[in-house]
Structures are given as structure tokens and as C-alpha cells.
Amino acid sequence: MTEATTALTNAPLPVAPGRVSITRAVLRNPLGLSALIILTLIILISVVAPFFAPHSPTEVKIDKILAMPSSDYPLGGDGAGRDVFSRLIWAGQNTLLGALIAVSISLVLGSVAGLVAGYFGKVFDTTFSWAANILMALPAMIVLLALYQTLGGSVYSTMAVFGVMLSPGFFRLVRNQVIAVKNELYVDAARVSGLSDARIISRHILRVVRSPIIIQTAIIGGIAIIIQSGLEFLGLGDPATPTWGGMLQDAFSNIYINPAGILWPGLIIAATVASLVLLGNAIRDELGGPRASAARPRAKPRHGHAHARTQGTEALNPGSGNGPLLRVRDLHVGYGSIENPLTVVRGVSFDVTAGEIVGIVGESGSGKTQTAFSILGLLPRGGRVLSGSIKFRGRDITFAPGNEMQKIRGRDLSYIPQEPMSNLDPSFTIGHQLVEPMQAVFKISKAEARKRSLVLLARVGIADPERTFRSYPHEISGGMAQRVLIAGAVSCGPKLLIADEPTTALDVTVQAEVLDLLRDLQREMGMGIVLVTHNFGVVADLCDRVVVMQNGRVVETNDAETLFSAPSDPYTQALLAATLDDSPPRPPLAVTAAGTSKGKL
Amino acid sequence: MSETDTSAPLLEAKNVVVEFPMKGFRKAPFRVLHGVSLDIHPGETVGLVGESGSGKTTIGRAILGLVEPAAGTITFDGQDITRLHRKERRKLSDSIQVVFQDPYTSLNPTMTVGDILSEPLLVKADLKGSARTRIRELLDQVGLPSGAVDKFPREFSGGQRQRVAIARALALSPRLVVCDEPVSALDLSTQARVLDLFIEIQERTGVAYLFVSHDLSVVRHISHRVAVMYKGNIVEYGDGDQVTSEPVHPYTQKLLMSAPVANPVRQRERRIERHTMLAASSKEGHN
């Protein structure tokens, strides 16, 4: 086996960008960068207010009451003759400090409680979730107004209370994330590796919840500033301390005398809050990538493969009357931009004659599924046929528009998917999902469609068709679901059935039954089948002819018996050699040969 | 310690019962394992084959301490490990390790390969200093270049990720590795290479495997002995050749007959054989 598999290409280590820190990611994002600059400016100027502001916030000049901007008062004077510009800067200190208190308290309280509740569950989860629900049920503004006097009229202590009231936002976020991560296999692996709970939390859990916490912090910060300004606008807080909300109130009471006065505090509040929200969005956008790419990457074709051969396809179909049922010629399928598409299928040609079962076999990334989808006209978003032709019953459907394909699909051309469960709508009964398309295609009554559906369900080997007809998808097994989809696919008597890995998700005993069913149906109805699979056993069981694909190209087309007994392409040979059917079973462990000591690796 | 005694099993599970609580007030728990017994000797591979829902993964998780059995005992090297405290369990980490099915979710996507491999080494104080050398050794063993250290899991193919997972399992030189469908997410050719890697490591180090898989041909290739699970019970347990070539239990026979052979002529024969067998058994059922 080892010699044979060396013929298979050993993929080189990929070269890809390494770790992307949050800071660098945000700096790359123009929106994030400008938000960050504005925020830094506002914070910096507020911090150095004593050195930066031209006047004291309480300095009053009688002649400057509601004055227009001048060199002394760059933004004019307020209702008490104080410098609006200086007060804006001084007020930044107070407003930002209040927001900081609220955010810090909610962040620490919510995150810690969320971590504990999510990770340890049970009593912690019940108690903390209950407390969070109570807090969320309280109307924040009213509580704050009521507490304001009780707490001694300090904006800061009010903001501290507000922090507690905001903490369920962090709590729920962190708790849900932790619960999701806790069940990941890598956390199980860490447990088996002997890591303590504290280490698992710091190494695995915190890494994942870190970025959502940062995003939430930015947004909560914005909310805190708005609520605080709102409270001050209503007249709470010390009138002697400058705050953005207090300035807004002063400007509002003089709005008929100096309408422009309301502009400055309004602008600074808007700029700060908008920057915080935009920063949060930018972080989310930039960090959205790694989370997504943790999933299976889309297979990319490797370049530089020599054997692109489409042998014998012409010879195998010598003028069969009206020509083949399906004729694919030099098909290219690509994704991405028009100028520089990523080609996943490169020059695939094959034929399917009526009543023939053709297998398309290959490993992941070979382009077999993309080929099947382009025949159906159902390429995923961004994918399209670049060149070549697909002829179905003599008609060119390569670039047929959607509505025309829709007429062909579900009548002459049918499809069986890989994942039966995800292809049934969980909110409708099986019966509904069979009857509706039948009514649409055949223009028959509901009762007639129902009758036909029950016959079909019985035909595909479902023991109690009536009951299955009334069932919802979650009430039936995966094997049953695949039978239902097969029933739906053959309901219109298609000429060609495209089956994409139809048994891969099924248990081997169920797979055998489904393969039997497909074979019987094919014989009964005389339809052609294109069977996409990675399993050579399935190919051997069902197919008349086989197309072997690698990296988007056809490397061999052969009739099934010749392919298995005398494969011509080295890649096919290597693949067949990698099947374990004929490998000898491992002999029992000889007692003498057993590992008698714990060998050092 | 009976490290040199090859006649005594390294791991022994006796009548292990696992139940999962059902949702709803006072609902009877769902019994996943109905008293499963299993033994693994040092340096041996025991294959555990079964279909989805047969409980084959659960027995592996019980051995790893990730689920707690409701009854029965599991002994490792003479020590009862059925219900260990977290602390005692953590001491076992250098003896029992795991390779999971899905190399896409068993590696933390935010950690580099170096971080992932140093994780088990961090636990052992005496290994902290030599971690870097050890990681290079491990990568070399599983056939990955040492440049892989600074890369992230997403930069690797499925087969390469599974190699990283194997390296992580080997980091502390364990004596038993529970392999839960370690090749079923891989392409055919990758699967063959990873299986050869498993065998090669075993021959070199004498590690024992509990190899869980749904694929009879994979289990047959790697296992000295094979156990067949069906609905929470082991229905057949014996030498790999016997169980996978001439099974005795009707379920194993059905399993064997259902797996298609990559040869049209032989597959046709097998299909006919299977239909005859099914017809015979349904006749029996009617009588």
C-alpha cells in the first residue's frame, strides 16, 4: 500500500499569513482606523484638559453670555457666559469617566459571571441567569432616576449602578460563547491532556470569547455615554461640574436665543458614540475571518498537474441515434472575479447515454461536485461556467437562464443530495414537501398528488407510508429521509438523475439498501444516473462507466469493469491501491512481539 | 506496576453501563451502553466497529473519563479508573491519550501548532524546558516539517491536521491512545497514509490503541482484535481476521455483506450473497 500511495501527490505545506492581532486588523480597516483616531483624539484632549483648555470651565464673563464665536471664546459662550470650547474639553473628562465606570463594572461583573456560569454550569448557571433576567426586566432609566437621590446625587455612583444593570449584556454573550466552546473537541482534548480548569479557561475559552467581549465593550461604552448624557440633560448631576449632557441642557434652554449652541455638545456626543460603534463593527468585520476559516476550507485546485486527458469519450459513444442523453464538453467552472477566476473544473468532458449509470469519482477538491452542480445549473454563489458546453437531450443548457432551467429541473432532470436531513424543511411535513412540487409540475389536484406520493413512498421501501407522509423530518431517520428525497426526485419520471454522494451520510447497512433501491428504480424507469462519489465500493456496486477526476480534470474515463481490473492512469491506480478491501487483516498480536516496555518515542 | 507483564491486560472494562439523562421530569435515562466488557493488552490494537448510535464512541469517552459510567468498572494497569477525581484523572494524562474524528474541530483554530503541541507538555513540570526539542521530535515522527510550529491549523489539509492531532496524543508517550474515527474525515489516499503512520508508531513504541470506526475495512487493516458493537452491546469479539472474514454473529455478517467491494465482479457476488442472507433471515423471522 505504501509504494502505491507514494504516487499520490503529497501536498506541500501551505504558505499563509500568520497570526493577525486585533490591533493590526483594525488598523487595516479604514473605518476602524478613522474611528480609532477620533476616539484617541477625544480621550487625549479630555485627559490633558487642564493644559489644553484656554479657560477654566467655571470662568464667567458677563459680556460673553450666549456670545458668538470669537478669538477668546472659539465656539462662543453659554447661557452663563462660560467658554463653550473649554467646557466641552473639561466635560469630556467627566462624561468619559462616568462611561468608563459603567463599562468596567458591567464588563468585569458580566464576563466573570458568564465564564463561571458557562463553564461550570449547574447551580452557577441557574443562579446567575436568574439574576441576569431580573436585571434585564428592570427599566433602567426609571431605576436610575429613582436611585439618583438615594445615592446622594452623584453621577458616578449612578453610572456604577448603571454598570450593574448593563452587565447581563456581557453575561449572556460570554455564557453562550463559553457553552459553545466548552463542547468543542479541542477542549475535550485539553482535558485528556491533563490541563486544569483554570488553564483550559485561560488558554482555550478566553481566546474565543475575547473578541466578542471587545466588540460588546465598544457598544456598551456608547450606550453608557448616551444614557449618562440623557440623565444630565434631564437635570440630574451637579450643575457646577461640566458634562456633555449638562451643556446640552443649557444650550436647549437657550435654543431660541442661540440655536447653534446645541450643535457642539450634540456633535461631540454623536462623534464619540458613533466612533465607538464603528470601532466595534470594524473589529467584528476583521475578526469574522478567522472564526469562519476554522471551518473546512474550500478545496483549491493545485497547479501544475500534467495528466489532463479525456480519453475515449468520443469513441465510447458511436452515434447512438439521437446522441447521448447528456453531453459535457470541455467544461470550465470558476469562482471569483471575471478577470482572474479561481478555476475548479478545467476541461471536463463526458457523456451519459439513456439508462446508463455514470460515476464521477475523485477526492475532495477534485471538482466532481462542481461538475454535477453546473449540469443542474445550481452552482453556489460566485460560481459560473467559464467555457465549454453542456447538452441535455440535444439541447444546449450551458448558459440557460434560471427560469428555463427550472422547467427542466424537476421534470427531466432530478437531484439527490448528500445530506438528506438538511434538504428537508423542518417546518413542513414530509407529505407537504412531496405534494407541493408535484402539484406545480403536473398541475394535478392535491388529492391526486397525495395518492401518487403514498404510492411512491411505498415504492422506495417505506414501511408505513401514511405515517411517514404525516411526519416531520425530525421524526424520521437519515436513511428514511434519503428514501423520501429519492421518492421526490423520481416522482416526475426524470430522464437523468444527478446523485451527489447520496449514501455518504448513511450507515453502511442503510447505504446497501439505498444502493439497491437506486438500482431497482433505474431499471424500472430507464433513467440515466450521474453518481458523484468518493467511494469506489459504491462505484463498483452501481456504475456502468466511471469518470475519475483529480484537481478539476478528468484523468480517466473507462467502463467499470476495465477501470477496476486494468486502470490506465497512475492516479486511478494509486487510488484503487489505497482502498483497504484487499489489504490483509492484521494478524493477532504475538505475545513475544508485544510492546513489553513503554518505548520512548 | 505490571509494565512488563504482557499477559495482563493494560486496560480492562467490565460490564460498563452508561446512561444519559433524558429531558423532562422523571423520565427514565437513556441507556447507551448495556454492560460492555473489553480488554486491551500492551502494544495491541483493538478495533471497535459499529454504526451510528451503537455506543462505540461512548465507550471510548468513558475510558477517557469524559463520561461517567453508571455501573461497571474500568481498570488501567491494575488501577480502578472508573470514577476518578479531576486531579487523579489529570495524573493519567501521560498514560491515556486521544485522537478525535474531526481534525477540523479537535484543534483550537486560534492556536499555533506549536502552542497545541506544547499544551500536554506544560502539565508536566519536568518537560517544560525541553518542550521545543520535543515538539520538533513529535513533528518529525508524524511526518510534518518543523516549520509547521508557527502555523495555524487552518493552514493545513485534513490529513496534515490529523497528523498534528496524533503528535499531540503522542507528546507524553502514552501507553494507550483512544482513536475515535481518526480517518473517517479523510480522503482515501490520505486515510491509507495516516493508518500506516498509526501502525508504524505502534511498532516502534509499543503503544496500544482502541480504534473506533464505522468502517470494517479500516478496522480490519489496523486491528489485532475486533469488537463489533450493536445497540449498546458488543455482539462479537475476537481476532481481527476471524471477525472481519468469517463473522459468526448475524449482525456482523450483515455489516460485512453491506460494505461494497471496490470490484464490480466481486461486488455483484457479494450483493447476491447479501440478498440470499437477508431473504433467509426474513423467512426465519416469519416462521
The pLDDT tens digits of the residues spanning A297-344 come to 333 333 333 333 333 333 333 334 457 899 999 999 988 777 777 888
Q: What is the pLDDT of residue B72?
A: 93
State the pLDDT at residue A532: 93
Chain B: residue whose CA lies nearest to A587: B224
Cα distances (angstroms) measured from residue A581 to each of A56, A548, A578, B189, B210: 88, 19, 9, 13, 21
Per cent of chain B over pLDDT 70 is 93
Do A86 and A57 meet the contact criterion of CB atoms below 8 Å apart?
A: yes
Contact A192 B240 (CB under 8 A): no
What is A79-118 written as a DSSP string?
Answer: TTS-BHHHHHHHHHHHHHHHHHHHHHHHHHHHHHHHHHHH
**CATH 1.10.3720.10 domain extents, chain A:** 22-290
End-to-end Cα distance, chain A: 24
DSSP type of residue B147: G
Q: Tell whether A19 is within 8 A of chain B (Cβ).
A: yes
Q: CB-hemisphere CA count at 13 Å for A363?
A: 25
Which grid coordinates are listed for A471? Answer: 411526519
Contact between chains at B189 and A578 (C-beta distance less than 8 A): yes
Instruction: Give the full edge-to-edge strand order of the sheet including A545-550.
Output: A413-416, A496-500, A528-533, A357-361, A545-550, A553-559
User: What integer best gives the mean pLDDT of chain B?
Assistant: 87
Q: What is the mean pLDDT of residues B129-140?
A: 84
| CB-based contact A346:A552 (threshold 8 Å) | yes
Q: Check CB contact of A581 with chain B, cutoff 8 Å.
A: yes
Give, as one character, the DSSP assignment of residue A262.
G
**Residue A9 pLDDT level (bands cut at 50, 70, 90):** very low
Chain A, window 345-384: residues with a beta carbon less than 8 angstroms from a chain B beta carbon: 363-364
Residues 6+ apart with CB under 8 A from B85: none
Q: What share of chain B is helix, strand, coil (3-state, %, to 5)?
A: 45, 20, 35
Positions of E strands within A207-267: none
Phi, then psi, of A302 in degrees rounded to 5: -90, 150
What does the pLDDT read at residue A112? 92
Nearest CB to A508: which of B45, B258, B267? B258
Asked whether the beta carbons of residue A13 and residue B160 sit closer than 8 angstroms, the reply is yes
Angstrom distance (rounded) from CA A10 to CA A199: 36
For the domain A313-412+494-578, what is the CATH code?
A: 3.40.50.300
pLDDT confidence of residue A585? 81
Residues of chain A with CATH 3.40.50.300: 313-412+494-578
Distances (CA, A) of B201 to A580, B26, B170: 19, 48, 9
What was the pLDDT predicted at A311?
36
Mean pLDDT of chain A: 82
pLDDT at A261 over 90: no
Q: Dig out the grid coordinates for B126 from the structure.
A: 519536568
Which residues on adjacent β-strands are paired with residue B80? Answer: B75
Q: Which residue has the higher pLDDT, A238 or B149?
A: B149
Contact A13 B106 (CB under 8 A): no
Which residues does chain A have within 8 Å of residue B6's beta carbon, measured at their own beta carbons?
591, 594, 596
Residue A132, pLDDT above cutoff 90: yes
Residue B63: phi and psi, rounded to 5, are -65, -35
Q: What is the mean pLDDT of residues A338-363?
A: 89
pLDDT of residue A141: 81
pLDDT at site A301? 35
Give residue B222's pLDDT: 92
pLDDT at A536 over 70: yes
Q: Which residues contact A383 (CB under 8 A, 6 or more apart)?
A: A333, A334, A335, A344, A370, A373, A374
Name the pLDDT band for A290 (thresholds 50, 70, 90): very low
Q: Which CATH superfamily is domain A22-290 in?
A: MetI-like (1.10.3720.10)
Q: B24's torsion region: left (phi>0), alpha (psi -120 to 50) or beta?
A: left
CB contact under 8 A, B189 and A203: no
SS (H, E, C) A118-177: HHHCHHHHHHHHHHHHHHHHCCHHHHHHHHHHHCCCCHHHHHHHHHHHHHHHHHHHHHHH
Q: Return the closest-CA partner of residue A309 out of A9, A570, A10.
A: A570
Which amino acid would we find at residue B223? S
CB contact under 8 Å between B204 and A601, yes or no, is yes
pLDDT score of A78:
83
DSSP 8-class letter at A13: P
How close A267 gets to chain B, by Cα (Å)? 39
How crowded is the C-beta side of A341, counted as CA atoms within 13 Å?
15
Q: Which residues of B touch A544 (CB under 8 A)?
A: none
- CB of A193 within 8 Å of any CB in chain B? yes
Chain-centroid distance, C-alpha A135: 32
Contact A16 B155 (CB under 8 A): yes
- Looking at residues A282-291, what average pLDDT do you find? 64
Output A61 or A434, whichever has higher pLDDT: A434
- Residues 6 or more apart whose CB falls under 8 angstroms from that of B246 comprise none
Q: Does A195 contact chain B (CB < 8 Å)?
A: yes
